[in-house]
Structure 1
């Protein structure tokens, strides 16, 4: 008889597998330190896991849970930013050492650097990052923070990792200069949303492996107002999924994260939507495995 576990993703439907038997290792990272507008992202991981108990195991195309979903303990996010990033990197290295796929849920966007650091520390360097976001996150630092949600992609670029951005619609001149300096590829919201672009081609020389980072504010506030820094003119539900799948068809997805979700008390639709989105991404990875 199945016993529901409130602390694991899809715990109403599945038992927690052994970590070695699961491809997807969900890594909750409830970090919220450098947010600059609305708050609440620290509560995102727990809300997403709780809402996942309302999901169906069949996502209309396949059952991603068949590949195994292991929910890890939340990362310790106490202490200074540098220590938090090291904690995230250490947890990521553990997942990679088992040959499994990190699936981060945040938490503010700065945590992506901790995950990427985990890959680099594990000796995995032959990959690029594709980002869905409202913001470029390419500032050298923001409000004095190098490990800021507004600087995380700058750290990625400084580490020599190729970056391609989708849906950006809020950036400053410093970030435009950084795009040129680091040869960042991009299709901004004004190039994607008005004509509802559903697929695109990554540059031919873009790495064959991809870590995909999805800031939920990359989607339009009409879909997810539940984020700290919403910007009008974002991606829709199906467009987001189709762009993710476009990448999965071209390259090998080696991990992904879903960040900046800030629950709104009393509006469970957004919590369920975020859990549903995360599971849909797993399904796309499952159906496009290489």
Structure 2
């Protein structure tokens, strides 16, 4: 097997598969170990490496299919040692290269501000008409947080400012400013206080929601009883299967052009959560592959 890109960032599922060439892979895994604006617990910069290392314990068969058969290429990690604006440009360049190569970006964060760079990359690759579906505990719709417009708490505001339609799922922590932004920008949403008590496992996207969808999944959107390994856990979140089912309900209705897994912060000594984040990533690949739309 082509075991490693380097010691810290092994290839995804490298115990089972060889590294696919970029032009032979449907899924391009992009590690982005960026953390600058987290406001509570830290460690999201360690998330991508932990997910890649834990992926070596996965089975090729995800329970329904082997998504790796369509090819997985693990990219070199994005350089996050530079100023935030340059980090976002580096993310955008890497994302655009994946799309231009015909691949689906699978981005591993890192704090949620990473998604802004991904969005810029999709645009740079010529994908102008797409919507975002977001699973999260937080709206991330503040104009700025602690004076920083590139904050993790502002990433979805950057998206709607660009005119990108947004559908939020599982939110349960927000401020008044964010409620006003939702109304002003026509943000669609089904919050946790509706989804969780009623055990809602599928949604119906509005007729005018774009055919192309980028799905951003902040792991704090899941309940801390399932996923405590994140910097800002909030009780009352989604379950494991509910999260997967909601993702699949979107994949059945629209074309998933990429997705990310954000805000995973490994807990030292608790490798179960590293494995869960890795399995979650692979499950999302499988759902995407089985519901591919031309």
Which category describes the TM-score, using the shorter chain as reference length? over 0.9
Residue 191 of structure 2 corresponds to 188
CA contact (8 A) 1:216 1:224 kept: yes
**Counterpart residue number, 2:115:** 112
- Aligned counterparts, 1:180-219, within 5 A: 180-219=183-222
Instruction: Give how far 1:3 is off.
Output: 5.4
Corresponding residue for residue 159 of structure 2: 156
Q: Which residue, 105, 119, 131 being the options, matches 2:134?
A: 131
Aligned to 1:259: 262
SS of the residue 2:285 aligns to: helix
**Hey, what's the Cα distance between the residues in 1 that align with 2:20 and 2:125?**
24
Which secondary structure does the structure 1 equivalent of 2:153 belong to? coil
2:250 equivalent in structure 1: 247
Answer whether contact 2:2 2:19 (CA < 8 A) is retained.
Answer: no
SS of match in other structure, 1:151: helix
Q: Please give the alpha-carbon distance, in whole angstroms, between the structure 2 residues aligned to 1:4 and 1:98.
A: 23
Rounded to whole Å, the distance in 1 between the matches of 2:91 and 2:252 is 28
Contact 1:13–1:53 at 8 Å: present in 2 too? yes
Across the aligned residues of Structure 1 and Structure 2, the Cα RMSD in angstroms comes to 0.8
- For 2:40 and 2:89, the matched residues in 1 are separated by 26
Moved over 4 A (4+): none
Match of 2:44 among 18, 41, 44: 41
Deviation at 1:125, TM superposition (A): 1.0
Following TM superposition, by how much is the alpha carbon of 1:279 offset from its aligned partner in structure 2, in angstroms? 0.1
Do the aligned residues in 1 keep the contact of 2:31 with 2:109 (CA within 8 Å)?
A: yes
Choose from 5, 8, 15 the match for 1:12: 15
Q: Which of 24, 30, 42 is 1:21 aligned to?
A: 24
Stretches of structure 1 lacking an aligned partner (at least 5 in a row) = none
Q: How many residues in Structure 1 have an aligned counterpart in Structure 2?
A: 289
Confirm whether residue 55 of structure 1 aligns to residue 58 of structure 2: yes
Counterpart for residue 280 of structure 2? 277
1:4, CA displacement in angstroms? 3.6
TM-score w.r.t. length of structure 1: 0.98
Pick one of 76, 79, 82 that aligns with 1:73. Answer: 76
Among candidates 121, 124, 132, match of residue 121 of structure 1: 124
Partner of residue 141 from structure 1, selected from 141, 144, 151? 144
C-alpha distance after superposition, 1:8-62 (max 9, x if no partner)? 0000001101111000000000000000000000000000000000000000100
Tell me the secondary structure at the aligned position of residue 28 of structure 1.
strand
